[in-house]
Amino acid sequence: MKNSIKTLLFFSFVFLLTVPIFAQRQHPKRPTPSGGVLMYEQAAYDVQSYDITAQIFPESKSLKGETIIKAKMISPTNWFVFDLDTPYEISSVRSMEADEIKKLEFKRDGEKIWAKFPLTKQTGEDISIKISYSGKPRIAPNPPWVGGFMWKKTADGSDWIVNANQNDGADLWYPIKDHPSDEPNEVYLHITVPENLYVATVGRLQDVENNSDKTKTFHWKMSQSINNYNVVLNIAPYKIIERKYTSIDGTTFPIQFYALPESVEKAKDIVDQTEKFLAFYEKYLGPYPYRAEKLGIAETPHLGMEHSTIIAYGNKFRKDNSGFDWLMLHELGHEWWGNMVTASDWRDMWIHEGFQAFMDTLYVEETKGKDAYFAAMKNRVKNLKNKKPTAPREPQFAYQIYYLPPDYTQSDGDIYGKGALILHTLRYLIGDDAFFRGLRRMAYPDKKMEKIKDGGQNRFATTDDVKQIFEEESKMDLDWFFEVYLRQPQLPLLVSSPIVNDEIQLTWETPNNLPFPMPVDMEINGQTKRIVMKNGKAKVKMNGDTNLITDKQGWILKSDGNLNITLK
């Protein structure tokens, strides 16, 4: 089981946040709260499975459902606290005891519902809670970044219904424990829709029932642990393009594209590209993690999202200037960064987005060469905000890590581009051999894990884990590197002194004088030399050259870009 976060590290720190939840809930341009500080009553149980039954009513844009949450108690409490978005009315909360069903009293505080057990549940007890609910889901105002449901039509007028939940949490459509640290081992879905529609979701399809009321019920099972926001619905008159793919470990699994009828021919090209992308990822990161399920892709009206085993694709089959579909490349890579390797708190989301943004650019190097890679990395610099730490130490809501204070409506983006540039700089510092060994170990910590495909390959990771792995592979102390680049926002500045006796001094300036012994390449008389910057300083002999160029290729993330020193 992937849920290793069973501790009560955050006892009594409920709602210690920079933005009031009530204000957050009311703003249409930002997500509803997801994650944040984990309260005692939710830290007290470990979700084992979600069993979701729902009927979708396209005409009224509503749903009616029941969800059974099975969990194990890891600390005593007489409250069961779960999350469900405010548009839904809850008709009952019941405890499914071994010998009887008990109706539980409950009270509501926004998205949080407090159900009271008659007697305190004890450590080690198994519980099963059934929640019945109905309502009109919120309509996504800016999908997928601000989530909800999308009620669209296909070219022939059929219903096309999709949801996205990442920044908001999947309590937008079913009851959950809305925190990234607790993932279910299994998810069962039983979704009923009009008979002309198909439901594509996570895991493997188990059965399809034809009902007497001109509806169908699709039964799906995800047999491995999964982020709650990855559990989504894609509903349309889909046609399935299927291809078999053989992984580097010899396992054959299906690639399945769920395409609108008018997109079938275009979708075949995406499957062709996906095979190439898979070969790239498996080369650097190890086997595709969900070989026991499928690699699913569903055409969506929103741009895309990394929903595990059912990637949302909405890039309209467009290729970029490099000749491939960047959206498919990016979302597929999240099966490693985000779905297999998951941040236990939103504060470490750069592990999802920064690592994947780096892989996006590495694919440019793989297909177009090193010069194209350097150009792509340099292009990322101009979009940086540097307003807040990329990996803060404090627990975060999703909107706090994705958006900028004070109102959290303006996108940040540094967990993407800055994250990629940090890894790019780390590659320079420790060298390719150590870097790519570390990258592979970040995906699969040891070779034995590369053979696992039952969910045991999934794990949580923190920024400290990243540091530890790259320190072990490089045999270097990297505390200073992570403090400057990830724990505070400002970039280091490289400055030079005036020429004295054919010599200059280079100095790294950092916030609060943080240590930063980053070496730097310098071109002197056409020859490139790596300058060791012990204590962040170095004296450089110019050898008569009056036009020194530092870091010509743009390896180092710094506040002034390339520093070209012209001395007269």
**Digit-coded pLDDT (tens) for 246-269:** 999 999 999 999 999 999 999 999
Span(s) in the chain for CATH 2.60.40.1730 = 1-233
Give residue 9's pLDDT: 35
Q: Which residue has the tokens 């979009």?
A: 383
pLDDT at 271: 98
Residue 98 is predicted with a pLDDT of: 77
Position 321 pLDDT exceeds 70: yes
- What's residue 84's pLDDT? 98
Superfamily of structural domain 1-233? tricorn interacting facor f3 domain (2.60.40.1730)
Question: Which pTM value belongs to this model?
Answer: 0.93
Per DSSP bridges, beta strands 459-461 and 341-343 are parallel
* Confidence (pLDDT) at 463: 98
- Residue 312 pLDDT: 98
What is the average pLDDT across 453-463?
97
pLDDT at 359: 98
pLDDT at 18 over 60: no
Pair 557, 424: CB distance under 8 Å: yes
What's the confidence (pLDDT) of residue 498? 87
CATH homologous superfamily for the domain 238-487: Neutral Protease Domain 2 (1.10.390.10)
The mean-pLDDT minimum among 25-29, 113-117, 301-305, 471-475 falls in 25-29
pLDDT of residue 47: 98
- The residue-averaged pLDDT of 114-131 equals 97
Name the burial class of residue 446, with classes exposed (0-12), middle (13-18) and buried (19+) by CB atoms within 10 angstroms of its CB: exposed
Query: Exposure of 390 by Cβ count < 10 A (0-12 exposed, 13-18 middle, 19+ buried)?
Result: buried
Burial of 319-336, coded b for 16+ CB within 10 Å and e otherwise, reads eeeeebbbbbbbbbbbbb
- Range(s) within the chain of domains with CATH label 1.10.390.10: 238-487
Residue 138: pLDDT band (50, 70, 90) is very high
Rounded Cα–Cα distance for residues 187 and 220 (Å): 8
10 Å Cβ neighbour count for 374?
A: 18
- CA distances to 16, 399, 507, 518 from 29, rounded to whole Å, are 22, 11, 43, 40
Cα distance between residue 555 and residue 3, in whole Å:
37
Going by the DSSP 8-state scheme, the letter that residue 139 receives in this structure is: B
Mean pLDDT computed over every residue of the chain: 93
**Second-level CATH architecture of 493-566:** Sandwich (2.60)
Say what the pLDDT of residue 17 is.
32
List the beta strands (DSSP E) in 348-421.
Answer: 403-404, 410-411
Amino acid 28: pLDDT? 62
**What's the chain's length in residues?**
568
